[in-house]
Structure 1
Amino acid sequence: MDYKEKYESWLKDPALCEEGKAELSSIAGDEKAIEYRFGAQLEFGTAGMRGIIGYGTNMMNVYTVRRATQGLAEYVRSLGEAACRRGVAISFDTRRKSDEFAKAAAGVLAANGVRVWLYNDVHPVPMLSYAVRKLGAVAGIMITASHNPKEYNGYKVYGEDGAQMSPDATADVVKFISAIGDCFAVKEERNALIRRVPASVDKSYYKNLTKLSLSRRAVRKVGKDLKLVYTPVHGSGYVPVTTILKKLKINVSVVEEQVAKDPDFSTVEVPNPEFKETLSKGIALADKIHADAVFGTDPDSDRLGVAVKNEKGEFVALSGNQVGILLLDYILTRLKEEGKLPENGAVVKSFVTTGMAKAICDDFGVELLDVPVGFKFIGEKIKEFEADGSHTFLFGFEESCGYLRGTDGSRDKDAVVASMLFAELCCYYTYKQQTVYQHLMDIYAKYQYVLDRNVSIKFDGLNAMKEMNAVVDSLKSKSVEKFDIYNVVAVRDYSSAVRRLADGTEEKMDIPTSNAVYYELENGSFICVRPSGTEPKLKIYYSVKAKDEESAEKALERMRGAFEKMLK
């Protein structure tokens, strides 16, 4: 059946809701729109699925959600009766149709005899992750499109350890989904198997977070008088972030006009707090009340964005790498000062995250481990450490504003604990009569300046992923010795897990495969290219080590020019 026939079959199906019929009828004759909606099946990958909200096989709607959930239900049933009794925990954020999709997922699971633990109001990713373990559930579902524009929604799946579902388990779920031909045949049922997540789970989550506090003395001294600004950007972070800061007695002013659960995110262009524009209302409030730092969370509160005052008193938005560096240095510093830094301590980051992390970890005698992009791989390392006792997990982070401290709370990136730690970090350096920005500059002075810059190239249409992968694949056969002033030391092909040195020798890498090419440059700089797993963007990562910011900017310009010339 081609896309036109699929379109007609959906329109004629009596199970299609009135909203769906009206929407699909409105695109009659629009060949491009019909092909986009029905020319593919919305892909369920290792990050679940994510797409534009609308009707069609390639869109996020109640029918594609039911189909995905039926596949998950059959996977749970394949694990046995005990797994069905343990059930699946479900949460959702403030996006359009998030609650509807969550209830649909619950209904499908219940119709298949699988117990459901459903939140009755929005709860962020980290609290869902925690609930999976606390309730002993066999899996979890989070309805969210994270930081994507308002037109999107998505469906994340979690394993019993609270981390995003492993690639092997996901592959099994996909097999079940693929066998479902008619999404209209999937039924929901409301029955006693659907239960509310007990309020005690929230209380337990907050209690565990307070155990991760590192600077109680500094908080007691300056926390009540500190001037911080927080914005939830209309997302699910408002209640948990303000709750944990209140528990620690850290003063924070909230951007009131961004508290509302607004699915249109009407006060921002995109609900991504890593952009300074998204934090602009927070910065305006901070200027008004003379606050020193602004932080914000995305709709599902798994990402944290931060802006701080520089030496001129102007707010600058910190990159995800810079926030990660500050948190890493703070955590290791405080653990060492308190005599609590374990000998087998480990930090885990994605391989595209700043190279500065190694210098910091080496200085503290902590092992640093690189994993592929995707926080599930950090979760896999935590599970591995717990199984073999080889390391004590201290901190995990990604350049895309994702951070996790400790193992008592979430097993995914957690902007609630990251907000708590950053607010506490502000208390600590204020107590030491130093600004956060000054300390960041001290870190650069100590370990040498590293400039990390990301560039995204947007692709459109049904073949976006195929075209992005083709660009990355084309680089694998190109021989390159240098990018302007930087010699290439080695090239990592993550699709084959092979590292090729400049002299032609090859080494196997013990790491899960992904489609990325990584150029190791002299002095620890690097360039990496990979397609995004969550949106149609080709991502290029530049990391430049130099004596200072000015030198790094000049070096980046030359390096980037040379690389883009090769890319063309």
Structure 2
Amino acid sequence: MSEFDEIIDAAEAWNAAEPDEDLRVELVDLVEAARSDDPEERAAARSDLAQRFSGRLQFGTAGLRAAVAAGPMRMNRLVVRQAAAGLGRWLLDEQAAGRIDRAAERGVVIAHDARRKSDLFALDTARVLAAMGIRSMLHPGVQPTPVLAWSITGLEAAAGVVVTASHNPPADNGYKVFLETGSQIVSPVDTQISACIGAFDPLAVPLAQEDDHLIRRLDLSWQEAYVASIPAVRLRPEVPGVPVAYSAMHGVGAETIELAFAAAGFEPPIPVVEQHLPDARFPTVAFPNPEEPGAMDLLLETAQESGAAIALANDPDADRLGVAIPTDDGGWRKLSGDEIGWLFADHILANTTGDDRLVVTTLVSSSLLGRMAAARGVHAEETFTGFKWIGKIATERAAIGQRFVLGYEQALGYLVTDRPLDKDGISAAVLMAEIAACAAADGVTLQGRLDAIADEFGRYVTAELSVRMEPAAGAAWVDDVEASPPATVGDRAVESVSTYPEAGLVRLMLDGGVRIQIRPSGTEPKVKLYGEGVDIDVAVLDELLAALAATAPAN
């Protein structure tokens, strides 16, 4: 039997089990195209089929993410059922080993966003868990990821699941798993769950009935409880608010953020009307990520027209926060993720007290946070890339008496409270609105706040560059840089090399204190390069990143 025949057999077996008519039709059409007389159509279809059936979608530290389509390398109900079964088996194993108490009884709390098939993926997860004797709790309707993460500890659940692809392209969906602490899973839990997933046949995972007694449907009380916690985020509650423009980026954050602003004593934000309601098509943005060029254009227009003092954007599941500020020339400027983090640090450290305070950031974020913390006499930690590690550090340091007050990663992830232990774009938006209000009350601009930080610590400059590469090629390139680091990058000598195997990251320190870092992306087929220098021109930093990128092998 040829390789093509094996793929066709696998596709037909998949279709026999596929529960969704639209995906069955899509796969039948693809198989027919793979037999077409047109050589181009035939080649394209066979390549697509080969990719879909080349293995199984791997469950990593970000869970699962892929385009919604049929096949084991895509997001669909069969893949989700297999993943849910693997999670259930891991929980039962942990319960049997005495590491998670009463896991089946405490159960799993589940929420979903508004992307294609998210509701079906969430319900199937509950049905799979119920069939395994594990209780599940389904949030009503669509919910932001922070509400799900926050509710895990309140419900004393053994784990949490949110169906979302976060800021991925419109065609994608995803599946995130949280620990009982409300933080995302970290190694080795991800590999343990992945091994459990592999033990199940995705075509034959048992399902309970939708009305099974182990499936509990929650009401809105947990969203209400989350909103009720928001006022505690404010550090200067006496300061009146300022006009805030806001984009939900076609995601699920709008309703909750309006409730959160009201609870915090602020007027509702001024919405980008075209992007305010959930829409799985994401019609106004090709890539619904506030970091992406053009994604915040409509927000900046709304801010300009409304006379807002600040512009805020959540990504579609509302766990990230983008920010733009007015400029002296009457325009608007998007802040980098680090600049947002510096504003949070400046505000939080100025309005809290105690030498037990702790701030945490990631390896690829700016090193300025550590200097700010040292100047204020508080603890600072640097951890691996990914917010899950920030949650882990916060949990560990609490055991030795350190009080978490801020965690951030430059990819627009911020946590400005101690719950949930995951990035939260809603509570962060409320505190950023307060920062803007305080600046206005003090008669300064937000750029003025950033300038004051630069006056004290130096002007930290950061830059990023991504090189599109397949994951295996990207990992190999980073390994090569580690094994044989360059003597120079551009016109600057490499003075030291540090490696962080757990993060897959290599750090090069160049002449003049410039820091260049390189690592493969954990969620996309690319390698990311990060640069930082003090009192350096950003164009110089961009040139250094481009010089290192030019050494990438042909892909």
Q: TM-score, normalised by structure 2?
A: 0.92
2:17 aligned residue: 15
Asked if 2 retains the 8 angstrom alpha-carbon contact of 1:451 and 1:543, the reply is yes
Count, aligned residues: 531
In structure 1, how many angstroms separate the alpha carbons of the residues matched to 2:162 and 2:326? Answer: 35
Q: Which residue type is aligned with residue 500 of structure 2?
A: Y
* Residues 31 and 247 of structure 1, relative CA distance in 2, 3 Å threshold: same
Q: From 246, 251, 257, give the equivalent of 1:241.
A: 257
565 and 71 in structure 1: CA distance in 2 versus 1, 3 angstrom threshold = closer
Equivalent of 2:70, from 40, 55, 63? 55
Residue 195 to residue 241, structure 1, CA distance change in 2 (3 Å): same
Whole-Å separation in 2 of the counterparts to 1:362 and 1:555? 28
Say what the alpha-carbon RMSD is for the aligned residues: 1.8
Which residues of 2 match residues 311-326 of structure 1 at below 5 A? 311-326=328-343
Shift in Å at residue 35 of structure 1?
Answer: 0.8
Tell me, what secondary structure is at the counterpart of 2:522? Answer: coil
Structure 1 counterpart of 2:411 = 400
Moved more, 187-196 or 156-165: 187-196
Q: Are the equivalent residues in 1 in contact too, given 2:245–2:272 (CA < 8 A)?
A: yes
| Structure 1 counterpart of 2:504 | 515
Q: In 2, distance between residues paired with 1:361 and 1:523?
A: 23
- Counting only pairs closer than 5 Å after superposition, residues 363-374 of structure 1 correspond to structure 2 as 363-374=375-386
Pair 199,559 (structure 1): closer, same or farther in 2 beyond 3 Å = same
> C-alpha separation between the residues in 2 aligned to 1:93 and 1:172?
26
How far the C-alpha of 1:240 sits from its partner, in A, is 1.5
- Local SS of the residue matching 1:167: coil
Shift of residue 346, structure 1, vs aligned partner:
1.3
Bigger mean CA deviation after superposition, 208-217 or 184-193: 184-193
The residue matched to 2:183 in structure 1 has which SS?
coil
Q: Secondary structure of the residue that 1:165 maps to in structure 2?
A: coil
One-letter identity of the residue aligned with 1:179: A
CA distance in 2, matches of 1:71, 1:567: 37
The 8 Å contact of residues 165 and 376 in structure 1, kept in 2 or not, is answered as yes
Could you list the per-position Cα deviations for residues 36-90 of structure 1 after superposition, in whole angstroms to 9, with x for gaps in the alignment? 1111210001211111110001000000000000011111222148210100000
Please give the alpha-carbon distance, in whole angstroms, between the structure 2 residues aligned to 1:355 and 1:403: 16
What secondary structure is seen at the aligned counterpart in 2 of 1:559?
A: helix
Q: Distance in 1 between matches of 2:142 and 2:361?
A: 29
Q: In structure 1, what is the equivalent of residue 541 of structure 2?
A: 556
Matched AA of 1:525: V
Q: Distance in 2 between matches of 1:488 and 1:330?
A: 36
Cα deviations by residue, 1:189-246 (Å, 9 ceiling, x for unpaired): 3201111234332222222221121111213xxx1xx221011111111112111111
Q: Distance in 2 between matches of 1:479 and 1:518?
A: 10
Superimposed CA distance per residue, residues 310-363 of structure 1 (whole angstroms, 9 cap, x where no aligned partner): 12121011111111111111111122xxxxx22121111110001221221122
Matching residue's letter, 1:105: T
Cα distance change on mapping 1:16 and 1:413 into 2, 3 Å? same
1:465/1:531 contact within 8 Å kept: yes
User: Superposed, which structure 2 residues align to 1:386-397 within 5 Å?
Assistant: 386-389=398-401, 391-397=402-408
Match of 2:81 in 1: 66
SS of 1:380's partner is helix
Which residue number corresponds to residue 501 of structure 1? none
Q: Which runs of 5+ in 1 are unaligned?
A: 336-340, 496-512
**Cα 1:561/1:274, change in 2 over 3 Å:** closer
Give the Cα separation in 2 of the matches to 1:311 and 1:276: 22
Cα drift, residue 565 of structure 1: 4.1
Distance 2:214 2:394 in 1: 31
Aligned match for 2:162, one of 142, 158, 161: 142
SS across alignment from 1:384: helix
Structure 2: gaps of 5 or more residues: 35-44
Q: Tell me: CA distance 1:524–1:116, structure 2 relative to 1, closer, same or farther (3 Å).
A: farther
Q: Which piece of structure 1 moves more, 193-202 or 313-322?
A: 193-202
Change (3 A) 1:232 1:558: closer
Give the counterpart of 1:27 among 27, 30, 44. Answer: 30
Percentage identity across aligned positions? 31
Are 1:444 and 2:454 matched, yes or no? yes
Partner of residue 499, structure 1: none
Report the counterpart of residue 232 of structure 1 in structure 2: 248
Distance 1:446 1:56 in 2: 55
* Conservation of the 8 A alpha-carbon contact between 2:326 and 2:332: yes
Report the Cα distance in structure 1 between the residues aligned to 2:188 and 2:395, rounded to whole angstroms.
15
Equivalent runs, 1:332-347 vs 2, <5 Å? 332-335=349-352, 341-347=353-359
For residues 263 and 565 of structure 1, do their structure 2 counterparts lie closer, same or farther at Cα, with a shift above 3 Å needed? closer
1:352 — aligned with what?
A: 364
Q: Give the TM-score taking structure 1 as reference length.
A: 0.90
Quick one: which amino acid aligns to residue 292 of structure 2?
Answer: F
TM-aligned CA distance change 1:564 to 1:168, over 3 Å: closer
C-alpha distance 470-210 of structure 1, shift in aligned 2 (>3 A)? same
CA distance change for structure 1 residues 20 and 269 in 2, over 3 Å: closer, same or farther?
closer
> How many angstroms apart in 2 are the aligned matches of 1:172 and 1:537?
26
Residues 104-125 of structure 1, C-alpha deviations (whole Å, 9 max, x = no match):
1111111111111101111111
Question: C-alpha displacement at 1:412, in angstroms?
Answer: 0.7
Per-residue CA distance 1:262-287 (angstroms, 9 max, x = gap): 00110112111123522211211221
Q: What does 1:525-544 align with in structure 2 at a 5 Å threshold?
A: 525-544=514-533
Q: Are 1:157 and 1:165, in contact at CA under 8 Å, matched by a contact in 2? A: yes
**Selected match of 1:38 from 53, 59, 65:** 53
**CA apart distance, 1:533:** 0.8
For 1:250, the aligned partner's letter is: F
* 3-state SS of paired residue (2:109): strand
| Counterpart residue type for residue 63 of structure 2 | G
Partner residue in 2 for 1:210: 231
Cα separation, partners in 2 of 1:189 and 1:291, compared to 1, 3 Å: same
8 Å contact kept, 1:91–1:141: yes
Letter in 2 for 1:312: D
- Range 135-144 or range 288-297, more displaced: 288-297
Q: Which has the larger displacement, 525-534 or 61-70?
A: 525-534
The match for 1:87 among 107, 120, 124 is 107
Shift, 1:182, TM fit: 4.2
User: How do residues 191-202 of structure 1 correspond to structure 2 at under 5 angstroms?
Assistant: 191-202=212-223
Q: What is the distance in 2 between the residues matched to 1:277 and 1:35?
A: 34
> Residue deviations 1:482-531, cap 9 Å, x none?
43454433212212xxxxxxxxxxxxxxxxx1211111235543111111
